[in-house]
Structure 1
Amino acid sequence: MKFKDGYWRMRPGVRGDYAVTAHDVTADAGSLRVLAPTREITRRGNTIDGPVITVDLSSPMPDVIRVRTTHFAGSVPQAPAFAVRDDDPEVKIVVDAAEAGLTSGGLTVRVRRDAPWEMTFSAGDRELTRSSGKSLGIMHDPDARHFMMEQLRLGAGELVYGLGERFGALVRNGQSIDVWNEDGGTSSEIAYKNVPFYLTNRGYGVFVNHPGRVSFEVGSETVSRVQFSVEGHDLEYLIIHGPTPADILRRYTALTGRPALPPAWSFGLWLSTSFTTDYDEATVTSFVDGMAERDLPLSVFHFDCFWMRQFRWCDFEWDPEVFPDPEGMLRRLKERGLRVCLWINPYIGQASALFEEGAAAGHLLRRPDGTVWQDDYWQAGRALVDFTSPAAREWYAGKLRGLLDIGVDAFKTDFGERIPTDVVYADGSDPERMHNYYSLIYNQTVHDVLAERRGEGDVVLFARSATTGGQRLPVHWGGDCESTFEAMAESLRGGLSLGMAGFGFWSHDIGGFEGRPDPAVFKRWVAFGLLSSHSRLHGSGSYRVPWLFDEESVDVLRAFTRLKARLMPYLYGSAVQATAEGLPMMRAMQLEFPGDRACDYLDAQYLLGSDLLVAPVLSADGDISYYVPEGVWTRLLDGERVSGPGWRTERHGFDSLPLLVRPGAVIATGAREDRPDYDYADGVTLEVYELPDGAARTVTVPGLDGAPAAVFEVTREGERVRARRVEGAPLPWNLRCSGGHAAAASGTDHIEIPLSAKE
């Protein structure tokens, strides 16, 4: 939200009161309180008739400093609030005549004690950012609304990333962004997943701890500052020190939560009925048969909206005319080794019998006059479940339990955006603060009932809406996109941006959602989709089975589905890292190569895990330019070496794309390609790529529970590569080096390869 007209003048009707000095400082039990008047105090009379901003400084964990600014403390709503870890770490506080300071770990905040106002954040001797003149303020707009605002300095060359799943340029500089969940597709500035957290290439991140609308002006209103503002009387933000982007994400997710580990079966191929298509059990069976006949590995079958009767979403009842025997159908699908996912949303259509039931019990969101909130968007007369009510959550969960009891394995938790603010919540929560937060308690309710029935290790959602904390409840997908190369690119940007906000797992509709993709778009998207954390074939008005496009689509899908299955020991290891450290499986290049300025703006390629570079082909003819960081990389699909740093221009067939292995990597690949969930340690192959002389790598092969199933140590000494198993049962395993050097073993603990020998 912009308050100024240019740099000097305010917009018509806007008034600002800015902190001008730190007049009074109090140190108390690991915190500092600063009274910051909005006028200079040169005599006692200046203390009358003017606002004062209270600034409280503290630390919830090492290398993180919390700043809480307040105007009228009695006007601050308390609910809802994000769950933020607070370890009450030991801090160092210094107060003298010139400044007051608080240090947590390697991060220090210093407040100047005379005019002008200046609050500086530094790591060692290096300044990270600062709040200075006309930065911290109380703003009033022409409608007499009250806002708290802060501006933090952007240094020369400083770039900003994050703020949720955003589909424009990955670098946020120059953008105006409102953190406010809306259903807008992937081609606009609004987004389904808004997160008030950003990080920069200067070694720090900023989390604005406010669940409602936060307005960001990222080098836009004032080009040398990031401005953020909220309506109300308090503003809390946390400065998170890195120094690397990965370190910042580790600390941010330690504060707000890290993802649960999705079950291994969820990493296989999902196939959907699509949205508005005509389908019944015969259609479903034909799709499953068609995949099996063409040797296309399939893991999950998803039933979209019309498994229920029209006008009655959600009543959680199968349409008896289309699916007369749902329990038998699910049993038959599961006999074929498939998992089953059902589409749901948090709305109750008026035609559903659950509308009267929910209204009578008080489970539906109400207007201030006590009537049920309704509109005709999506479903005629729809109402919303009030998830702030424990009774409503239990009522909703009870409907899901009946579906789980007949064989459902997962739920696609669609919608949860565009939540109204002219309502009253059962627990008294502030409606503005609940707008984004609603997505969190909706998805948490579904996650909890899945965990109750299936156990914590076998839970997966396919969610669309999210905010801070939503990363704990994977998986999320990118929402409604067109079936074009442009939409494929914007979807990728959204996923990389979401990863920069702490979300470890992300998916998208292979081929696009709206419209029917032409075969070239479909085949290129298949390669991208199977090299994402999760992979789903889904659309709107047309089916997404590959043989409806062309026979080559079948071959491409088969090849990349099998490739993903072989890579599962590596990929599941990356998933375990996401849950342990908060690093996304799909990583923007800047996240992995912060010292390479060529990576700062790259948003059409990514790292899958730490060691695989993926550059999706965004054209029918296969022409692509992509960037290779320093070192000798190896193309995974054909073994060709590629040297960086530098740009490469190539042409790829539909069965190929730039997929490069990082120099020095050891990639664990599995012995099966027909499914994603198998014993990864049994017959695993350690693929060694350009390991430097004298280097050592530890490779952990996970089990299906995420715990280590086998641990290997790989070293290179001169012209020999040695590997030994240091943990795990004596199962057969193999060692292979780039360049064709290979060896195999069966139940041994050591393998050695002389690099002079060829396979």
Structure 2
Amino acid sequence: MKFTDGYWLMRDGVQASYATEIADTRVTDDRFTLYAPVRHIRHRGDTLNGPLLTVECFSPAEGVIGIRTTHHAGTPDHGPHFALRPGREDDVAAAKITREGSVLELASGELSLRVDTAAPYRLEFTADGRTLTSVESRGTGYATTAPDGAHHSLAQLSLDVGELVYGLGERFTPFVRNGQSVDIWQADGGTASEQAYKNVPFHLTNRGYGVFVNHPGKVSYEVGSEAVGQVQFSVEGQTLEYYIIHGPTPKQILDRYTALTGRPPLPPAWSFGLWLSTSFTTSYDEETVRGFVRGMAERDIPLGVFHFDCFWMRAYQWCDFSWDPDVFPDPEGMLRRLKESDAEQPLRICVWINPYIAQKSPLFDEAARLGYLVRRPDGSVWQWDLWQAGMGLVDFTHPGARAWYADKLRGLLGQGVDCFKTDFGERVPTDVVWHDGSDPERMHNYYTQLYNRTVFETLTEERGAGEAVLFARSATAGGQQYPVHWGGDCESTFGAMAESLRGGLSLGLSGFGFWSHDIGGFEGSPRPELFKRWVQFGLLSSHSRLHGSTSYRVPWSYDEEAVAVTRDFTRLKHRLMPYLYRAAQQAAEAGTPVMRAMLLEFPDDPACHTLDRQYMLGDDLLVAPVFTADGTVEYYLPDGEWTHLLSGERMTGPGWRREQYGFDSLPLLVRPGAVLPYGERDDCADYDWAHGVTLRVYGLADGASVTTRVPRPGGADAVFRIRRRGRQLTVEATDAPGPWHLDTGEGTLLTAPAGTTTLTA
């Protein structure tokens, strides 16, 4: 939200006040509080008839400093609140406070906050001997707006020359946020607008720090827009709390941020396979579904999950959790027959749900009678006709409603369903009363957290830890704890494919480890060349789903080459599972996303700071999707000798490359010095990845050593330590079941029989 009219003036109806100096301080063991008037105090008389801002400075975890500014403290807080953790177990949360003359300093790890209480009001955040950012003359304050008299608390943090800002959730606008106005407000706006399904009040910069605004409602950002040298954020209310999070690397920032807001559990291994959907408004029955499953099998395309979208239920009755009896008279038998199609690797089943209950459904009367639907202030059930006729919204602040909703899900799980697509959760009204008394404005964004948590926890309880997975569209800060999320409604164009990638990279820089998208696009029907390029991109994403709106997404609907591309890249992803699941572990352990913006892996290469049409898949694979019909692609290669995974061609960076690829390939390059574990099987995602694994060595320098961990479902990771001395390679293996193989990268393939712990080539 903009308050000023240029540099000197305020906008019509706006009155603003800013902390000017520090009148008093209070220091305790772990924090200090500043009392800041909004005008210069010359004598005692100036203390009358003027506001005093209370600024609390504290540290919840090592490397994190919090600032809480309050104007009037008597305003009731009805919640909800983000559930913040006090840091990891190895954090030293206690801050060190020192005073030297008029200077107060709060230190947490390498991060420090310095305040000169005798000077004009200014906060300076430093680390590693340099200033990260600062709060200047208009950096702490509030503004009131006419005619509503709304009170907005605001803050500004300075931007350095060349400083770039990223994150704020899954946003499809330009990847670098500088110059943008962003409202953290859930909306169902598709991928072609400035609105977002996943709004996260967290950003990071390429200068070694991130900022989390601890407010679940609307947060309005002006990122180098209203004041071009500042990031401004404001909330409606009397209090504003934010955290400066030190890195210095982007990965370390995400580590500390997700330690505060939560990390994702590991999704089940089978979820990394290919998902196929019925699509949105298409007509289908059991024979249609079984025809799709047979068609994939007949074409040797391994299928991991089949998804039933909306019309598995009766029209006008979503979401009542009941199969349409006219189309699916025997749902339990149908699901059993689908799963028996491949006994060795059973097909998993996903069904679409949402948090709405349509008036035509018998569940509407039941939920309304029990008080499980959100109500208006007059006590009537909130309803509208947008989406489903007369629908109500489940009130997940009500413990009974959560249990009731979860019980409906258990019925589906008992029939053979394995997971749920939790659609919607964005269009949440603010003219309502919540069961627990939550502030409707704050609940608008936070609703998705309660919705997805209810479903995820139900899956965990019924299927066990490690078997729960969602396909969720909406999220807010902390939503990464309930994976997986997908990008939402995009058009079937190359432009939409690129905007989807921007959104995914932005979400990854907002603390989310796993992300997917609709292969081929959602709106419209993709041309064959677009479908094939999107298949490549989709199967080199953390999770992969074929889905559309009005047309099916089975590859044989396009051409035979589309079948081959889908088959080859599905099987390639399965071979990469030892590598991909290790990247998944990194997401669970440290908040590093599986799909990574280039700056995460190359923070010291300025050329990588703005790249949004390529990414790193895990530590060592560079992927540059092709966004053109003729196969032309431009991408940047960081320093070193890289190797094309599919062709073996070696390429040297740094520098830009312009190439042309057929539909059987794309830029897929292995990082210099990497050891890539390559799985033995390509027919499924869920297998013992360490058994028969091939360790592919790429340009390991003389004297260098690499440790490669290969996850094992249900067991300890197999660990391989590879060293090069001259032309000799030595591998030491721990917990490797064997046999395993060593591909030296120089045309030599060696096999280590079971029980071998050391191999030298």
TM-score range, shorter chain: over 0.9
How much does 1:570 deviate?
0.4
State the alpha-carbon separation in 1 of the partners of residues 10 and 748 from structure 2: 69
Match of 1:740 in 2: 747
State whether structure 2 residue 68 is matched by structure 1 residue 63: no
CA displacement at 1:105 relative to structure 2? 0.7
The yes-or-no answer on 1:80 pairing with 2:88 is no
Alignment of 1:173-572 (within 5 A): 173-336=178-341, 337-572=346-581
**Could you tell me how far 1:543 is from its partner in structure 2?**
0.2
- Tell me which residue corresponds to 2:138: 134
Q: Give 1:98 deviation, angstroms.
A: 2.1
1:581 to 585, 590, 600: 590
Structure 1 stretch 136-145 or stretch 466-475: which is displaced more? 136-145
TM-score, normalization by structure 2? 0.98
Whether contact under 8 Å (2:18, 2:142) holds in the other structure is: yes
Letter in structure 1 aligned against 2:588: T
| Cα distance in structure 1, aligned partners of 2:484 and 2:41 | 54
Pairwise CA distance, 1:750: 4.6
Provide Cα deviations, 1:32-86, integer angstroms capped at 9, x if missing partner: 0110110111111111111111000110111100100001111141410001112
Identity %: 63
State the shift of 1:96 in Å: 4.1
Paired letter, 2:599? Q
Contact 1:513 1:538 in 2 (8 A): yes
Take 2:65 and 2:717, find their aligned partners in 1: how far apart are those partners? 39
Q: Distance in 1 between matches of 2:752 and 2:129?
A: 53
1:300-330 deviation line (CA, Å, top 9, x unaligned) = 0000000000000001000011111100000
**AA at the equivalent of 2:86:** D
Q: In the TM superposition, what whole-angstrom CA distance separates every residue of 1:219-255 from its partner, at most 9, and x where no partner exists?
A: 0000000000000000000000000000000000011
Asked if the contact 1:639/1:739 (under 8 Å) is kept, the reply is: no
Letter in 2 for 1:158: E
Equivalent position SS for 1:60: strand
Give the deviation of 1:534 after TM superposition.
0.2
Distance in 2 between residues matched to 1:122 and 1:642, nearest whole Å: 40
Superposition deviation, residue 741 in structure 1:
2.5
**Aligned length, in residue pairs:** 752
Determine whether 1:112 maps to 2:116: yes
Deviation at residue 753 of structure 1 after TM alignment: 5.5
Instruction: Give the Cα separation in 1 of the matches to 2:757 and 2:115.
Output: 59
Question: Residue 726 of structure 1: CA displacement?
Answer: 2.1
Aligned equivalent of 2:756:
749
Output the CA distance in 2 between the equivalents of 1:393 and 1:44.
Answer: 56
C-alpha distance after superposition, 1:420-459 (max 9, x if no partner): 1101100011111111100000000000110110001100
* Farther-moved stretch of structure 1 (739-748 vs 525-534): 739-748
What is residue 99 of structure 1 aligned with on the other side?
103
Distance 1:635 1:737 in 2: 15
Distance 1:121 1:67, change over 3 A: same
SS of alignment partner, residue 572 of structure 1? helix
Determine the C-alpha separation between the residues in 2 that align with 1:355 and 1:20. 55
Deviations 1:515-537 (A, max 9, x none): 00000000000000000000000
Please point out which of 147, 158, 166 is paired with 1:161: 166
| Matched AA of 2:722 | V
Match of 1:715 in 2: 723
Residues in 1 aligned to 2:46 and 2:126: alpha-carbon distance in whole angstroms: 32
Cα distance in 1 for residues equivalent to 2:348 and 2:43 = 74
- 2:385 is paired with a residue whose SS is coil
Counterpart position of 1:757: none
| 1:746 CA displacement | 1.6
CA distance in 2, matches of 1:350, 1:520: 43
User: Would the aligned equivalents of 2:197 and 2:473 in 1 still touch at CA under 8 Å?
Assistant: yes
Contact 1:32 1:58 in 2 (8 A): yes
Cα offset, 1:135, TM superposition: 1.5
1:742 Cα deviation from its structure 2 partner: 1.8
Q: CA deviation at 1:169?
A: 1.3
| Aligned match of 1:726 | 734
Q: 4+ runs of 1 displaced by more than 6 Å?
A: none
* Alpha-carbon displacement from aligned partner over 1:676-732 (angstroms, at most 9, x marks no partner): 000111100101110111111111110124x53311111101111111212333x20
Aligned to 1:626: 635
Residue pair 1:680, 1:703 contacting (<8 A) in 2 also:
yes
**Is the CA contact (8 Å cut-off) linking 1:174 and 1:218 kept in structure 2?**
yes
Question: Contact between 2:78 and 2:437, CA under 8 Å: does it hold in 1?
Answer: no
Q: Is the 8 A contact 1:19 1:53 kept in 2?
A: yes
Task: Tell me the SS of whatever aligns to 1:438.
Answer: helix
Three-state SS of the structure 2 residue aligned to 1:207 is strand
Structure-1 separation of matches of 2:119 and 2:12: 28
1:673 aligns with 2:675: no
Gaps of at least 5 residues in structure 1 are: 755-759
**Counterpart of 2:402 in structure 1: which amino acid?**
R
Alpha-carbon distance in 2 for matches of 1:110, 1:389: 44
Report SS of the residue matched to 1:728: coil
Whether the 8 Å contact between 2:508 and 2:595 is mirrored in structure 1 is yes
Whichever residue aligns with residue 412 of structure 1, its letter is: K
After superposition, give the CA deviation of every residue in 1:81-117 in whole Å (9 maximum; x if it has no partner).
0011125722211234422111011110012213421
Tell me the distance in 2 between the aligned counterparts of 1:149 and 1:157.
Answer: 24
Aligned to 2:177: 172
Q: In 1, distance between residues paired with 2:440 and 2:7?
A: 34
Cα contact 2:691–2:736 (8 A) shared by 1: no
Kindly indicate whether the alpha-carbon contact (under 8 Å) linking 1:97 and 1:113 is maintained by their aligned counterparts in 2: no
Q: Is the 8 A contact 2:85 2:261 kept in 1?
A: yes
- Which deviates the most, 71-80 or 643-652? 71-80
The answer to whether the 8 Å contact 1:101/1:109 transfers is yes
TM-score by length of 1: 0.98
Q: How far apart, CA to CA, are the structure 1 residues paired with 2:698 and 2:224?
A: 42
Cα RMSD for the two superposed structures:
1.0
Separation in 1 of the partners of 2:606 and 2:113?
28
Q: Residue 135 of structure 2 aligns to which amino acid in structure 1?
A: S
Q: What is the alpha-carbon distance in structure 2 between the residues aligned to residue 423 and residue 448 of structure 1?
A: 26
- Tell me the SS of whatever aligns to 2:61: coil
Instruction: Answer whether contact 1:510 1:537 (CA < 8 A) is retained.
Output: yes
Question: Tell me, which stretches of 5 or more residues in structure 2 are unaligned?
Answer: none
SS of the residue aligned with 2:735?
strand
Report the CA distance between 1:497 and its aligned residue. Answer: 0.2
Q: Any idea what SS the aligned residue of 2:60 has?
A: coil
**Residue 748 (structure 1) shift:** 4.4
SS in 2 for 1:65: strand
Answer yes or no: is the 8 Å Cα contact 1:639–1:738 preserved in 2: no
Question: CA–CA distance in 2 between the matches of 1:742 and 1:279?
Answer: 49
In structure 1, give the amino acid aligned to 2:739: P
